[in-house]
Every structure is written in C-alpha cells, then in structure tokens.
Structure 1
Amino acid sequence: MTDTDANTPRRKSSLLELDARTRKRNAAETRFKVYGLIAVGIGLAFLLALMVAIISNGTRAFTQTFITVEMTLTAEEIEAAEASVLKTGKYKEMVGTAIETALGRAGIDTDMDQKTLLLMLSSSAGADLRDYVLANPEMLDQPLTFDFLASSRVDGYLKGRVTRESLSEDKNLDAAHLDLVDQMRDAGIVERRFNWRFITGADASESRPEAAGMGLSMIGSLFMMLVVLACALPIGVAASIYLEEFAPKNRFTDLIEVNISNLAAVPSIVFGILGLAVFIQVAHLPQSAPLVGGLTLTLMTLPTIVISTRASLKAVPPSIRDAALGVGASKMQATFHHVLPLAMPGILTGTIIGLAQALGETAPLLLIGMVGFIATNAPETLADGFLAPNSAMPAQIYEWAKRADPAYYERAWGGIIILLVFLLAMNFVAILLRRRFERRW
C-alpha cells in the first residue's frame, strides 16, 4: 500500500443518500412501530368485543314487561284478604279478576280460566298488590291503575329470548298464552318499560327472576367499601410513612418490604380463607355481614395502598425534605407539612384504585358466605347496614350466572354493566382528586 492510498480520505456519506446500515435501522424502527400498532389494535379489538357483548346482553335487563290493569279495591275485600291465613292467595284472586276485566274491556276473548291467566304474571303479583295496599291505604275504594310484572317467559318472548318452539317443553306457558300476549300488546295492556326495580330492588328466588334486582347488593357493596376505606387508608398510609421516612434500613425492614410485595401477589381466595378463619371462626362476627366482607377486603387492599403510597413518597424530590430540615423543621414536621401534601395525589389515586379492585372481588366473599343469604329489605339503621346479612354486587352477579333460568343470565350481564359504571365512577373520582391536589415544581 502506498502513502497515497493510505492518506486518501474515504468518500463521505451524503445526507441525501442513506447507507445500508441506516436503511436497515430505519426499517427495524418502522417494523417495531407496526408491531406496536398491531398489539394496540388487538387489545382494542378484544376490548370492543367485550363491551359489545356486555352491552348487547346486559341492556335488556334494564327493561321489563308489565301488564297494566285498572282495578278498584274495596275495604271489604281487603278485610277478607287480611283475615285469611293465605293472604297472598286472596290478593292473587283480585289480580286474576282484574286481568279478566281488562281483557273484557279490550274485547279480547279467551277460554282460559283465572288460574291459567295468572301464569302470565309473576308469582309475586299477589305480594306486590298486598304491599301496595298496606303502604297506601288511602287508595281503597278508588280507581287504581296497577302495573304487574309479567312472568320471565312472557318477558323473554317479547325480548326474543323465548320462542314458540322452546315453549313445547314448558310446563306453564304454551302457544295459546303467546297468542293472548300478542293481543294484549296490541291493546296496550302489555308493554315493555324501563325497569327501575332492577336497580333498586332486592334479589328474588329462582322461580321469580323477573322480580330480581341489584339494589340491596349495591348497598352491601357500599358498606363494605366504607369499611375498607376506614381501615385500609389510615393503616396503609401510616405504615408507608414509617417504612419510607422513619424506619431504619436493616434486614428487618427489608423483610417487611419483601413480604408486603409478596402479599400484593397472593390470590384473593387466600384472603377469603383468612377472613373466614379470623373474623368468623375466631372473632365470631356475623356471617354474610358487610363488616366481615369489608375487613376481609381490607387485608387484600392494604398491600396495594402501601406500595402506591411509598411510590408517591419516593417521587417527592429530596430537595423538599432538605429545605424543610435546613430551616429548622423536625423530621416529623418535614414529612407531614411538606412531603405528605405533595404525595397526596398519588396516595388518593392508589387508594381509589385499590377500592375499585376490592369492589370487583368475588372469591373472598364466597368463602365468608355473602351469597348464602337473600336480603329482602334495606337496612333500617346504620348498624344494620354493617352487621345485617347482605350480599355484594360481584357475588350477586356470580349467583345469577350459575342459575338455570336464562332470565338470570340476562340479569347477570346487566349487573356487570352496573358494576362497570361504579368502577368508571371511582376512576373518574381518582382523576379529579389527582388534578385537584396535584402540585407541580
């Protein structure tokens, strides 16, 4: 090689002409972006499919078929009904008479007797009329328009869930009932309306799916979340402040931190077993009570709150602590007056996320018996709200999903919609609180 060859400079690469290595690198970046977009698209597709399934199956639970009749209840009839041992039976006879009268006014002829006509109504029709009369005695001897729940089969027929072919094996309804329902719908006696009872009512027995509601289970979940908030938030924040700001760094605190991280990964059913053993068998707290459910979910939520709170405390710049200590503040004053307010948005966000996770848990509630009791009345006092047997929304959804009647399957989807609304509301509150208390530096 000559000196001329050694000293000859190489041709400089042009900014307008990319070499092979640059083109290869740019191609790799483009492929990575495409892979990322594909992954996001797959995730959105699954989310869209899930939302479509939930909305399409669950929205029908918010409407219900009602049979509207006009009737006049006399004091003599009510006194005779109340004097009977089988009180609801007398009221059912009144309902059957009102149905026959409504059909006659509409000009609808039928050969069905009163007992056969009542098969189109919910089995709770007599009890509903009795409860209304007891709550509104001033309506006696006055014209009354009453909306009775139709049976789940009639409701399913108008929603397209029940067909004439499927009724061939039904013991109660037949094609003649469906023909009569069509005539009653044309006459305005039968119609579908929004079902407020699904939102405000209680659960019902397996033979009355049309009367089932989520109201009391929503109250049970509310009291459980109050217990979780009152127990998990102060304990979790206090433990986090001590571990992050005051605890000495040694093997003992390292062991505690490792155990907290491990507890966050423990399956929720393990906490249910722990709650069953400690709160019910040892402490003898009432089974199926929201207090027990809240304490059990507190054990599950504590690690989440501790981890999120410690992360929020770590995110505060050390200069804030140094500045407070530099002007003479004590360690406690620097923590509570300066560090904690700056970490509050993250603490509140982590707390609400932990509550949202606890709200959707089912396995711990199954083990403490929150599906073994059907509450029929709302708690009368605050103590009853915590100690009286009740259910919770996820446990109620699970109970409905395993029942045989298709109407309960429909209501399970509707319960999922209500649960998702609660979760979205809690996440929205978390965003608002974070923006309200967030401080930038």
Structure 2
Amino acid sequence: MTAESGTKSPTERMRATLRRRYAAERRFQAYGIVAIVVALSMLVTLFVTIIGNGAGAFVQHTARLDISVYPQDIDPGREADLDALARANYQSLVNDALYSMFPEATSRQDRRAVRDLISPGAKFVIRDMVMDDPSLIGQRVSVRVPLSSQYDQVLKGNVDPAVDFRVMRESSTEIPWSLPEGERLISDTQAGYLQQLIRQGEVEGSFNRWFFTNGDSRQPELAGIWGAAVGSMFTLMVTLLLSFPIGVSAAIYLEEFAPKNRLTDIIEVNINNLAAVPSIVFGLLGLAVFLQFFGLPRSAPLVGGLVLTLMTLPTIIIASRAALKSVPPSIREAALGVGASKLQCIVHHVLPLAMPGMLTGTIIGMAQALGETAPLLMIGMVAFVVDVPGSPLDPSTVLPVQIYLWADSPERAFTERTSAAIMCLLGFLILMNAVAVLLRKRFERRW
C-alpha cells in the first residue's frame, strides 16, 4: 500500500531530522565563533587602550643645564664627606643655571615661571651625580634633567593636540593654542619660556630610564616602578620558598600516604573550597594573625609573602595531586616489585615524573599571587614608600598596589604611568604563563 496523502515516509522523516540536527550543529558552531570573536575583540580593545595610554610614559622630555658646582655651596670644608654632600643645597645650583638662561626674567613671578620649567627632582639628579663623582666639585658640567610633568605633557600632545613639538621648535610666533589659557596646564608666559628653551635646542625627548630605576615619587616625571618591582620580587620569593615545599609535601601525603577515611575527605573538600575563597579573606586573616597576634612589621614583603602563601597553597596542592595521579600505577608497582620502599618509590620514581606538572601548577599559582592586590591592602602595603626595599623586612609595596596608587592620582602624567605599569605587569604575567606552558611541553610524558 502507498502512504496516505500528507504523511511522510520514514526516509523523509529521517532526512528532516538530520537536517535539523545539522542546522543545530551549525548554529552551535556559529555561536562559538561569535563568542571567540567577541572575546578577542575585547582583549584587543584592552591591549590597544593600555598601550595607547601608557606608551608615552616610556618617553621623558629633558632639558640640558650648564651647572656650576660651586665648592662654597656644596663642600665648603673641601672634605668630600658623603653626608655633607647629601645635605648640600643643589636647588640653588639649578636656579642659577635657569636664571642665566633667561636673564629677562627679573620679577618674582617670572622667575617662579622659569623654575617651574624643571622638575623639582632635578636637584636629586645633580646630587647623585656629585656624590658618585666628587671630583666634579668646582667644575661646570652639563647635565640633562627632566622637565616638569605639565610641560612634558604639553610636548607629548596630551594638553592640546593642535600643538606639537615641531611647531614649538620652528615657530617664531606665538603658539597656536586651540584651548583658552584657563583650560591649559601652563599659561602663555610659561609657554613662551618653554618655546624659548626649545628653540635654543636644549629640550629633547628620550627613553625614560627613571621609570625603571626610580621608586615612587610625588612628582610624576620621577616616579618609577623599581621599588614596587623589588617589593614584588621579595614577596614572591617568600611565597615560593614557603608554598612550594608545603604544598608538594601536603599533596604527596594526601595522595600517597593518607588513609581514605572521613577525615581525609573533609580535608580534601576544604582544600578545594579554599581555592575559591575571595582573596581579601586571606588579607583579613593575615591582618589578624601575622600583624596583630605575631606583631610582624606592617607593609613588609615578609608578611605579604605569608599571606600569599596561604592563598596559593590550595592551587599548588590541587595541581600537585593531579600530577601525582597522572603517573601510571605500573611505575609504583615496578619500583615496589624490585624491593623499593614506599618512600623510595615516591622519591626516586613517582616524584620526578610528576615534577613538571607540579612546577606548572606552582608557576600558575605564583602568577596569581603576583597580580593580587586586595590581601596586600589589608596588611598595609598600600603605604607611600619612596625608598627601594633592601630586604623582605623593609617597608615596601608591590606592582599591583603601585598601579592602584597611581590610578587614584589626578595628574595626567600618572595616568600614563598607570598604563605603563600595567603593561609591565601583564608582560611579566604572560612570561610566567609561557614558562609554565614550555615546562609542560618540554617535560610532559605521554603514557
């Protein structure tokens, strides 16, 4: 008999079902492609924004000054004592050099405008130069010092995009500002002094070495990440020295020696739960235990490392246990079969094979610790610290907290340095994750 009109044969129904199934599969693939494109576009937008805002921080405009290092001002006793040299009045040398370049600035207001051209930290540049080479006392030397941040921003086009460095160098007329004087960082008088300094060929833009060699500063043109980088290094060193042996030892015991009972089940559940605890909770724990109970120094990398150790231990334990589970049972059986003890089997056979996975998990945990801010804020590492720490017990800050401090500053120059510090932090995080991937690819064993 033939099929009734309006009904479909089994073959047609099967084909219709297959068409719907294939269409659903194509839609699902399209959804995945759209999700990947959106994620990549967001990532590209993030990097373009950060790089666009932070690229200017790697360039600093400086001015050349001819400094006369007068002995009567620097070292009256001709003793070349470092303490006396450190206390000398170098600002007067900077002012004398500026006044000689602008003899027409005679009024008090004009001289203040001239002094504002140069960063207040220029005296420290000259101080360090003289202390490194006391033979400069009594000589006339040329030294490049940073411009003040507002003039540096003008030359970078961040104040008025209509004015660039070439126009100010080549033009003999007034600068063609597109913004009224009240909306600019510098007045017309200050702009005239800057243009005069530029036309004399004394100003140039160069690589901002101070960003990588200085600690934090109230002056944006002198602020750097070196103090925060050293603090991060000490903090991660303490974290690694504590978290790696403790985490690996705990993983070995739980995976190889601990009996499977209710107690170990509770421990495993709590370790997994601790990996999801908000990081600020560990900061509160560190504040209560390490600072208030044990009395350890506040804002020290030692305390920061202890707090981050508590935070990264669950990650390292979980990764280490997974690495131990990946070692085939035949390795253990073969070692035990030739007379090795349980400890010898683990130390000489299982642990070396599981070590690449353990190192990968440890590096990922260290990268997570490097980017943490909240627990360190709770233990006082948000303090303004100018000096570069010399040990884990010295007051310090870390890169994420330094970024937080700069982001809270209203100056436009600190916005540049915030993005530049983020670039450095992201670069180091990418490097650490790349090392983890390379270790896994290099030492991973396929069974």
What range is the shorter-chain TM-score in? 0.7 to 0.9
Q: Kindly provide the CA deviation profile for residues 14-59 of structure 1, in whole angstroms up to 9, marking residues without a partner as x.
A: 9xxx922222222222111111111110110110000001100111
Verify: 1:126 aligned to 2:137, yes or no. no
Matched, 1:160 2:157: yes
Higher mean alpha-carbon deviation, 266-275 vs 322-331, is at: 322-331
Aligned to 1:271: 282
Matched, 1:253 2:264: yes
Q: Which residue of 2 aligns with 1:238?
A: 249
Instruction: Give TM-score, length-normalised by structure 2.
Output: 0.87
- Give matches, 1:42-191, under 5 Å: 42-79=38-75, 90-102=89-101, 113-163=110-160, 165=179, 168=182, 173-191=186-204
- Conservation of the 8 A alpha-carbon contact between 1:69 and 1:145: yes
Letter in 1 for 2:158: R
Shift of 1:79: 2.9
Within 1, Cα distance between the matches of 2:92 and 2:58? 29
1:201 to 209, 214, 230: 214
Is the 2:99–2:105 Cα contact (8 Å) retained in structure 1? no
More divergent stretch after superposition (140-149 vs 237-246): 140-149
Report the Cα distance in structure 2 between the residues aligned to 1:238 and 1:436, rounded to whole angstroms.
24
3-state DSSP of counterpart to 2:75: helix
Give the drift of 1:93. Answer: 2.4
The verdict on how the C-alpha distance between 1:97 and 1:213 changes in structure 2, with shifts beyond 3 A counting, is same
Alpha-carbon deviation of 1:70? 2.2
Mapping of 1:287-306 within 5 angstroms? 287-306=298-317
1:344 and 2:355 correspond: yes
1:24 and 2:20 equivalent?
yes
Report the Cα distance in structure 2 between the residues aligned to 1:221 and 1:125, rounded to whole angstroms: 28
Task: Return the alpha-carbon distance in structure 1 between the equivalents of residues 89 and 325 of structure 2.
Answer: 70
Match of 2:438 among 432, 435, 441: 432
For residues 432 and 312 of structure 1, what CA distance do their matches in structure 2 show? 16
**How many correspondences in the alignment?**
420
CA-to-aligned-CA distance 1:375-413 (integer Å, 9 cap, x gap): 32452xxxxx11011111111111111122222222111
Measured at CA, do residues 315 and 153 of structure 1 come closer, stay the same or move farther in structure 2, by a change above 3 Å? same
Q: Structure 1 residues 87, 298: closer, same or farther in 2, change over 3 A?
A: closer
Q: Supply the RMSD in Å over aligned alpha carbons.
A: 2.8
Q: How high is the TM-score relative to the length of structure 1?
A: 0.88
Instruction: Report the CA distance between 1:140 and its aligned residue.
Output: 2.4
> CA offsets, 1:49-84, max 9 Å, x none?
00001100111111112111223323233235999x
Q: In structure 1, the residue corresponding to 2:65 is in which secondary structure?
A: strand
**Partner Cα separation in structure 2 for residue 139 and residue 166 of structure 1:** 45
Could you list the runs of 5+ residues in structure 2 that have no partner in the other structure?
Answer: 161-176
Moved more, 31-40 or 126-135: 126-135
Give the superposition deviation at 1:86: 13
Q: Report the 3-state secondary structure (helix = DSSP H, G, I; strand = E; otherwise coil) of the residue aligned with 1:66.
A: strand
Code of the residue aligned with 2:295 in structure 1: it is H
**1:239-274 CA-partner distances (Å, limit 9, x unpaired):** 001111111111100000010011111100000010
Check 1:203–1:175 CA distance in 2 against 1; reply closer, same or farther (3 A cut): same
Superposed CA deviations along residues 159-179 of structure 1, whole A, max 9, x for unmatched, are: 222246476267x84122123
Q: Deviations over 1:312-351 (max 9, x none)?
A: 1112222222222233322222222222111111110100
- Secondary structure in 2 matching 1:141: coil
User: C-alpha distance in 2, partners of 1:173/1:129?
Assistant: 26
What whole-Å deviation, never above 9, does each CA across 1:267-290 have from its counterpart, x for those lacking one?
000000101111111111111110
How far apart, CA to CA, are the structure 1 residues paired with 2:267 and 2:53?
46
Q: Which residue of 1 aligns with 2:385?
A: 374
In structure 2, the partner of 1:321 is: 332
Q: Is the 8 A contact 2:114 2:193 kept in 1?
A: no
Contact preservation (8 Å) 2:389, 2:396: no
- Distance in 2 (CA, whole Å) between partners of 1:400 and 1:326 is 62
8 Å Cα contact 1:312/1:346 also seen in 2 = yes
Amino acid paired to 2:190: H
* Matching residue's letter, 2:414: Y
Q: 1:119-173: per-residue Cα shift (whole Å, max 9, x none)?
A: 1111122233223222221122334121111111111111222246476267x84
